A and B are shown apart, each in its own frame.
Chain A
Amino acid sequence: MASLSEEVLLVVKKVRQRKQDGTLYLMAERIAWGPEGKDRFTVSHLYSDIRCQKISPDGKAKIQLQLVLHTGDSTTFHFANESTALKDRDAAKELLQQLLPKFKKKANKELEEKNRMLQEDPVLFQLYKDLVVSQVISAEEFWANRLGGVNNGEPAPYNNKQEVGISGAFLADIRPQTDGCNGLRYNLTADIIESIFRTYPAVKQKYSENVPHNLTEKEFWTRFFQSHYFHRDRINTGSQDIFSECAKQDEKGLKSLVTQGVKNPLVDLLSLEDKTLDEGYGISKALPSTSNANKSVKESSNSAIIKRFNHHSAMVLAAGSRKGDPPTDQASETSSTDGNSRDSDFFQPPLKKVKLQEAIEYEDLQRENTPKTVALNLKKSDRYAHGPVPLQSQQYTTSQDIINSVSYIQQEMTNYKPNLTRVLSSTTATSAIAALSPGGVLMQPVGQQSINQMVPTDIQGELKHLYIAAGELLRHFWSCFPVNTPFLEEKVTKMKTNLERFQMTKLRPFQEKVQRQYLSTNLTGHLEDMFQKAYSKFHIWQTRRMMRKT
């Protein structure tokens, strides 16, 4: 056995994997399987690599357990012990259920983060492929200073991804299915559980209080679905229900929401009426009965449903925006905590004013008051594209100068006498004009532009990748200077070898390829230069270090 120090939590015999009998071991940090009669594991997965486990439905003849890894691979174990197969499987499943979440939290966060970054950033992904997959540098090195931001807790620029809200109907997705013998089965996925927790924080609290000390996860959810809380329309019977407290908390939350009042005065029904009729006056419109006693059971359950829908929608809405705008939340809290209406008075008018103005606005009656935009009319678009040209010291001419010069030219023209002896012959003149007109020899487009057409696109793309990868490596290299710690010293030498390796494995083949295609232009000249610069810097540093040592 490889590591004897490992604690084995569960051993299940007669487990088949790929039609081979064997034994399944659940250890503290990994799950492993070895074929019968051999003392090594052919399958071994760290818990942190496992994304989830799946089990075969109860009715199936084969009793199986499948592990899905983060990489997407999966391993299936078939429990073959006829008499105890189901029990074995459940034991393994239960244990995994407890173990997996523990590892999930710490390990996956990082892994997921990396995964996400790679998925979101194609350039980074390419770089990863170029450098890590081709083993120029190791994965740790690659991530070392990329993940820094993430681990430090400060949100990386990629991190401000929009929060995904919760579907309004997530409870509807949990369709109960009859299992054939007078029972109901609910299928919960991690998403649904997440949704429930985010929408109903009270349930989450209950969960963390009770699971796994008092209840197993399964029991918890069973109770949840049985509870009055889930079926709010049913009449509450038992007070031992752990969710009755949740219901109370929700009620409280709802009440506080209601008492907090609304910010928009135009929807505040309480202050809509200016002067209500005094008690006793008016045509009584079904006077609200003073006691709830004469409300029938059905009615009160109906109103409970209505309440529940309002609450549910409000919670879903709040869950969506909870993380989005904490500052506004805070603002509303501060204004509500000092409960004094004096203060809220001062907060109120601006919003009220705005809302009133909005309400009386007739946008189509007004002349559109957006500032009139002038269409851009460019006579020389290249000047626009190149931006301002640095002012050259040139002499500006006043209008007087111009007039003077015009009259001077006029004068010259009148006195002009062609010097016929020094004139070009007509043939030379036409050829010169032809050379200077568009399409002529002297009017050929400049060579640089044609590089676009000369080099095929796949080479261009490859070159681009090379540049990015080389840039990344060089960045690592240069970031080591000034070298003042032993760690950096080590790194800089390593980076130099990395550079060399890159030159050998990536740049050279590319150069050869370019040559094979007879592309005359020296495409990689600049890259080479950059490498040479780095090497010379390294040599300078190295010779200096040698000198210092001697």
Chain B
Amino acid sequence: MKLNIEGLLVYFPYDYIYPEQYSYMLELKRTLDAKGHGVLEMPSGTGKTISLLSLIVAYQRAFPLDVTKLIYCSRTVPEIEKVVEELRKLMEFYAKETGEANNFLALSLSSRKNLCIHPEVSSLRFGKEVDGKCHSLTASYIRAQRHSNPNLPVCRFYEEFDAVGRQVPLPAGIYNLDDLKDFGRRKGWCPYYLARYAILHANIVVYSYHYLLDPKIADLVSKELAKKSVVVFDEAHNIDNVCIDSMSVNITRRTLDRCQNNVDTLQNTIHKIKETDAAKLREEYRRLVEGLKEANVARETDIYLANPVLPDEVLQEAVPGSIRTAEHFVGFLRRFLEYLKARLRVQHVVQESAPQFLKDIFDKVCIDRKPLRFCAERLQSLLRTLEIADIADFSAVTLISNFATLVSTYSKGFTIIIEPFEDRTPTIANPVLHFSCMDPSIAIKPVFQRFQSVVITSGTLSPLDIYPRILDFRPVTMASFTMTLARTCLCPLIVGRGNDQVALSSKFETREDFAVIRNYGNLLLEMSAVVPDGIVAFFTSYVYMENIVASWYEQGILENIQKNKLIFIETQDAAETSMALEKYQEACENGRGAILLSVARGKVSEGIDFVHHFGRAVIMFGVPYVYTQSRILKARLEYLRDQFQIRENDFLTFDAMRHAAQCVGRAIRGKTDYGLMIFADKRYARSDKRGKLPRWIQEHINDGSLNLTVDEAVQLSKHFLRQMAQPFRQEDQLGLSLLTLEQLQSEEMLQKISQMAHQT
């Protein structure tokens, strides 16, 4: 259908539309009009992606000069592929309606592992191996060497691409990962480099967060993307953690040992080169004296996306004299390394700030702040000069140099914690230096500064106001949409007591209590007898799940559950869990029914959907608080309190509830879907917890279902499931939660919709 969104003609590739989709598009349009940032929450399964794409594509066509590019970031590879498929659907609809060929170029980008078509390289299993092998075939100096020695191995796809691929732009169309590979095979071009090159002139780019948020990758891939782009972060409820992860560094003794080896290799290579090709080193020296002017010019003229690891001041200066020659720099690295080794030889936990660390390093080994800041840049230059083939081998020394640059650049937002051993095993020495970022805004800041509109969206972003605070930006629109339903297809229940009136809770004091564990077991057992097909149960942590499973096993509860359904359990091994997952789906598919025991914050809870019969009930055992004894977390909480005035408890609850919402939200993937959401902890009944659930879940919790016993919950579930089992047709939804174009245009409905958007 064709929609009129405040004067913008939007093609929407379906015959019907959900009211919330319409109002989502309204908000999005306002965000784009204002050229500002937005935070939008809409339940999963209400067609968020297609609404986003329809509106932004329409906007791009209407105002090609205002919005030149859409950068769509999602989290996992399947998500990325899904987005591209939806886009393809939209574009097909455009072609059908307008009758003209589609002139849009949209493509997805992923790591080499998913794009490589070189027969040997692509057969490697791990991403890192693929990257390393690829690099050893395609690095510029390797290829230069091949001129003198044609026997060296070569990647013909890259060569072909390098020879001709850049002259002709990629023809317009929608390219998913497999399409890129097909295209690459047909032309004999490397799909990875083709995609990386093509994103510069593509209208729509779909890739993962890291390409924008991880400075190490963003610097390579996304540096030159146009300023007039709209950036969308989908599934953004965890975006702060992604930011923090990309800026944090851990150094163990093993890292230092490997680093030592790296430095030795560097030293030897320098010696060798000095004997054979001293001119090369002199050339490098000259370049360094001239400084990083080039990069500086680029940034000033606003061509590049800023790199948070490479602060502005560094660009204006030349590399300091003390590390300009290669030998000096290697010597410098050695000294730094020795210092780190000494620091790791501690007997007790040390926590200090970056300035403290800098002062200490100056006192002990006379290393100044300034050369430290140039460390990362200097190492890159040296590695280039020395023509090191396999960069992957030098990951340790790269890590150390990145750490050096970060610690000397940011005096705020980071903390250094040195732990001599793991808390659980105090007898085994395993010293780790955590350099952890506490401020997610550092990594995302360049994105907000550079691009005119950044939209953060997800199914669970409640409470909305916390994201602008922790990411430090000012949104022009913030809205939360609920799911309009013709039948209440979700049934959140808070089970607070066992049948014997024992309060159910996963809190620390009662965690080992047999009565609680038994009652949890009973809940699962009774549910397994009532709920058809699949049940997914989430525990607060892996250790907790192991303990509970063990004692359920001893008490014979699991055996009784097995009489109703098969049991599958997430393990720490991803391959094993994948297998269990597939078997779980198989068991749901063939009607036997199964239970999946899983962990909140685990891979399953984040990336796997349990649509329809794959998840008819989700049980959340306990409140998934993060492990609060961790020092890193404590430091972060302190920082949040001091900098953003967010109280520790508020943040912890927020974090726990967003994970709980993620877990239970896995089961509802649309309006035709239905599922039970069982929160098995009495603490969920409190308003501070409940209030932090997304609105679309919250509004279905009535006061009667706040503190149920197991039996009561089973009764309610039975009732609910019986209702849901009735046939549900399109006509039942029409006019309420599903609109035709005529219905949408009616005065009354428009008014209703505009109210819906203003409610936040």
Contact = CB atoms under 8 A, between A and B. Distances in A.
Contact of A364 (B583, B587, B738): B738
A5 B201 CA distance: 98
A129 to B, nearest CB: 37
Which of A274, A286, A352 is most buried by chain B, counting CB atoms within 10 A of its CB?
Answer: A274
Contacts of A266: 78, 608-609
B582 A310 contact: no
Nearest to B669: A359
A364 B672 contact: yes
Interface stretch (B360-368, B380-388, B549-557, B675-683): B549-557
Given A364-B671, A364-B733, A313 B574 contact: no
Nearest to B672: A364
Binding site of B, secondary structure by majority: helix, strand, loop or mixed?
Answer: helix
Contacts of B318: none
A270 to B, nearest CB: 5
Nearest to A293: B428
Given A172-B562, A257-B579, A267-B581, A365 B15 contact: yes
A262 B211 CA distance: 27
A286 B178 CA distance: 35
A266 B76 CA distance: 10
Interface string B101-123: 00000000011011000010011
A438 interface: no
Contacts of A362: 14, 47, 50, 670
A442 interface: no
A517 interface: no
Contacts of A289: 422
Interface in A228-279: 233, 254, 257-259, 261-279
A269 B604 CA distance: 8
Contact of B246 (A265, A281, A316, A359): A281
A366 B14 contact: yes
B210 A275 contact: yes
A128 to B, nearest CB: 35
B395 interface: yes
Interface string A326-355: 000000000000001110000001001000
Contacts of A349: 178
A362 to B, nearest CB: 6
Nearest to B728: A364
A265 to B, nearest CB: 6
B620 interface: no
A270 B574 contact: yes
Contact of B580 (A233, A265, A280, A310): A310
Interface stretch (B61-69, B563-571, B703-711): B563-571
A299 interface: yes
Given A294-B425, A313-B566, A258 B579 contact: yes
A167 B216 CA distance: 53
B490 to A, nearest CB: 16
Nearest to B583: A314
A307 interface: yes
A314 B250 contact: no
A213 B89 CA distance: 67
A289 B254 CA distance: 13
B245 interface: yes
Contacts of A316: 566
A190 interface: no
Q: How large is the interface on B (under 10, 10 to 19, 20 to 34, 35 or more residues)?
A: 35 or more
A212 B562 CA distance: 33
A288 interface: yes
Interface in B581-600: 581-583, 585-587, 590, 592, 594
Interface in A357-386: 357, 359-360, 362-368
A302 B543 CA distance: 10
A274 B395 contact: no
A265 B581 CA distance: 11
Given A294-B425, A362-B670, A364-B16, A341 B122 contact: yes
B559 A172 contact: yes
B713 to A, nearest CB: 23
Given A278-B399, A279-B395, A267 B672 contact: no
Contact of B76 (A258, A274, A298, A365): A274
Interface string B249-273: 1111001000000000000000000
A46 interface: no
Which of B123, B576, B603 is most buried by chain A, counting CB atoms within 10 A of its CB?
Answer: B576
Contacts of B568: 309-310, 313
A320 interface: yes
Contacts of A81: none
Contacts of A168: 562-567, 592
A284 B575 contact: no
B123 A274 contact: no
Contact of A267 (B119, B178, B608): B608
Given A356-B85, A359-B609, 7 more contacts: A273-B76, A274-B77, A284-B432, A352-B178, A360-B49, A363-B672, A364-B671
22 contacts: A168-B565, A168-B592, A169-B563, A274-B111, A274-B207, A275-B127, A275-B217, A277-B245, A281-B250, A283-B434, A283-B436, A284-B250, A303-B546, A305-B550, A306-B571, A307-B571, A309-B549, A317-B592, A360-B86, A364-B672, A365-B15, A367-B16
Query: 10 smallest A-B Cβ distances: which pairs?
Result: A172-B559, A169-B562, A274-B208, A365-B14, A282-B245, A169-B563, A313-B566, A302-B546, A168-B562, A367-B15
Interface of A: 165, 167-169, 171-172, 233, 254, 257-259, 261-284, 286-289, 294, 298-299, 301-303, 305-307, 309-310, 313-314, 316-317, 320-321, 340-342, 349, 352, 356-357, 359-360, 362-368
